[in-house]
Structure 1
Amino acid sequence: MIKEMSERKGQLYVVATPIGNPKDITLRAVEVLQNVQAIICEEHRIGSTLLKKLGIQKEIIVLNEHNEAEKAPDVARRILMGESMALISDCGTPVFADPGASLIAHLAEWEVPVTPIPGPSSLMAALSVLDFRLERFHYAGFLPRDKTERRNTLRGLRNLRVPIVVMDTPYRLMQVLDDVASVFGGNARITLCLDLTLPGETIFRGKIDEVQHKIKEKKSEFILIIH
């Protein structure tokens, strides 16, 4: 049965979407979204809002951390049987710290084409404005929610001799900065990028205690680079 299905397999496109400014979507991304049969997203509301802005009407399939394990095989079978679909995240480049890996694993096992459609990425946007030559970096990703676990994780990163990239939710920005200052010391140098591509985009550079003083109790989407 799988062999018969594979003869008419479709394709999955992994499509990067804007991280803030809607004008950042690429022409290729729009073309793909216009031509696939269904679009896979994390949240129906966010996915449908993007499509409405682009004037695109498609079937929306919700695939997120709560249902991916159960739903991914069925979506993969639809693609295997000939449908073409696009995978998008709430913003930025999909799968990177977002759902989708399980779906891609099924498709890879069945040798179904998976094509990246590159575009906006908060990580690469932040790294591109560093004021020093970047040859290597360590992506630490999203830190643990628990304060003790978060500080233990940071202690494990402290001896690395490369820039460290940290992400988290906007409401934990100040907590993360406090923990980094506690573990790395207030003189540790950082680059903090807030609300990238949005009207309020701000980039702070300098010692962490100086940056903390400047932003006070601000809540923003952020990328933190410790260097």
Structure 2
Amino acid sequence: MYIVATPIGNLDDISRRAQQTLRDVAVIAAEDTRHSGRLLQACGIVTPMVSLHEHNEQSRADTLVRRLRDGDSVALISDAGTPLVSDPGYRLVYAAAAAGIRISPIPGPSSVIAALSVAGLPSDRFVFEGFLPAKPGARRKRLEQLTNESRSLVLLESSHRIAAALRDMCAVFGPRRQAVVARELTKLHETVLRGELEVLVTQVEGDADQQRGEFTLVIAGAPESENDGTVGAMDLRTLLAALLEELPPTKAASVAAKLVKRPRREVYALAVELGGAYDR
């Protein structure tokens, strides 16, 4: 079985080895056969396809493993990029490996690696978080869990949530955190925006074109000084919630801002959000 990377935008990025593999196998398992059909047609590949997506992966994996055991070769592709990276396929790979099938990668495009390569942020160590939760509360909670992560963060986001996601990152990580918004990588309208989160929020919200397409985000990790095990690394919401039980919002925000070394205005806004609507 072959795990074949396909272009994330520019069709010329497909390798000769990937094309030959897709021609030679008995069947191609594709996330969306209609979408992948356009790629195969452009490359002159007529290999039969079957669908393999999140809703049918388990049953389809059983069928494909039987074919592999019978001697057929199978290629797995996703809609774009390297399969299994925020895409279905791991159940098939697991089942094939358990059955003793040899599994070979045909490497190639990946939006994660492409974004890291142009970000200009530390890339020797990074964390891939995939897509953030769609609901605002869950998204904010997940970001708070990553506040003190010192490695660069790589995330994916959709066009209709990009502005809200950046606002949440600005509120949780702080407006000065460096980040990169990579949009439509390898495509005609590719753009890469770099800067502090508050600047990126303004740029994206102020330009409708910057809210279209597919996005890969790279966020600088927390400075080591903020992740040294002291009170400065404390979860801001947890700290504020405790302080608000004893202090009015202005005082609670002032104390918390000093402890976690964040702007007082930003911390006060969070204090109000947590329910400290007035000084008592």
State the TM-score, normalized to the length of structure 2: 0.75
* In structure 2, C-alpha distance between the alignment counterparts of 1:82 and 1:130, rounded to whole Å: 44
* In structure 2, C-alpha distance between the alignment counterparts of 1:134 and 1:223, rounded to whole Å: 14
1:81-126, Cα deviation, whole Å (9 max, x unpaired): 1001110000000011111111111110111011000000000001
* In structure 1, C-alpha distance between the alignment counterparts of 2:69 and 2:165, rounded to whole Å: 43
Q: Which residue of 2 aligns with 1:4?
A: none
Q: Which residue of 2 aligns with 1:208?
A: 197
* In structure 2, C-alpha distance between the alignment counterparts of 1:135 and 1:116, rounded to whole Å: 23
Q: Which residue of 2 aligns with 1:6?
A: none
* In structure 1, C-alpha distance between the alignment counterparts of 2:41 and 2:104, rounded to whole Å: 24
Give the letter aligned to residue 213 of structure 2.
S
Q: Which residue of 1 aligns with 2:261?
A: none
CA contact (8 A) 1:41 1:88 kept: yes
Q: Which residue of 2 aligns with 1:220?
A: 213
CA contact (8 A) 1:171 1:220 kept: no
Q: Which residue of 2 aligns with 1:15?
A: 4
Q: Which residue of 1 aligns with 2:104?
A: 115
1:1-227 matches, cutoff 5 A: 12-216=1-205, 217=208, 218-227=211-220
* In structure 2, C-alpha distance between the alignment counterparts of 1:191 and 1:197, rounded to whole Å: 16
Q: Whose helix fraction is larger, Structure 1's or Structure 2's?
A: 2
1:157-212, Cα deviation, whole Å (9 max, x unpaired): 00111111111222211121111112112222101111100111111111111112
Cα drift, residue 214 of structure 1: 1.7
CA contact (8 A) 1:195 1:222 kept: yes
SS, match of residue 98 in structure 1: coil
SS, match of residue 161 in structure 2: helix
Report the more deviating stretch, 164-173 or 15-24: 164-173
Residues 133 and 224 of structure 1, relative CA distance in 2, 3 Å threshold: closer
Name which structure has the greater RCO, CA cutoff 8 Å, separation 6+: 1
* In structure 2, C-alpha distance between the alignment counterparts of 1:200 and 1:171, rounded to whole Å: 17
How many percent of aligned residue pairs carry the same amino acid?
39
CA contact (8 A) 2:28 2:76 kept: yes
Give the letter aligned to residue 222 of structure 1.
F
Q: Which residue of 1 aligns with 2:245?
A: none
* In structure 1, C-alpha distance between the alignment counterparts of 2:216 and 2:130, rounded to whole Å: 10
Give the letter aligned to residue 21 of structure 1.
N
* In structure 1, C-alpha distance between the alignment counterparts of 2:119 and 2:32, rounded to whole Å: 32
Give the letter aligned to residue 70 of structure 2.
M
Give the letter aligned to residue 135 of structure 2.
D
* In structure 2, C-alpha distance between the alignment counterparts of 1:19 and 1:89, rounded to whole Å: 10
Report the more deviating stretch, 109-118 or 184-193: 184-193
Give the letter aligned to residue 25 of structure 1.
I
* In structure 1, C-alpha distance between the alignment counterparts of 2:26 and 2:200, rounded to whole Å: 47
Q: Whose strand fraction is larger, Structure 1's or Structure 2's?
A: 1
1:26-78, Cα deviation, whole Å (9 max, x unpaired): 01001101111111101121121111111111211101001112221111111
Residues 132 and 67 of structure 1, relative CA distance in 2, 3 Å threshold: closer
**Structure 1 residue runs without a partner (length 5+):** 1-11
* RMSD of equivalent CA atoms: 1.1
Cα drift, residue 132 of structure 1: 4.1
SS, match of residue 216 in structure 2: strand
SS, match of residue 118 in structure 2: coil
Q: Which residue of 2 aligns with 1:3?
A: none
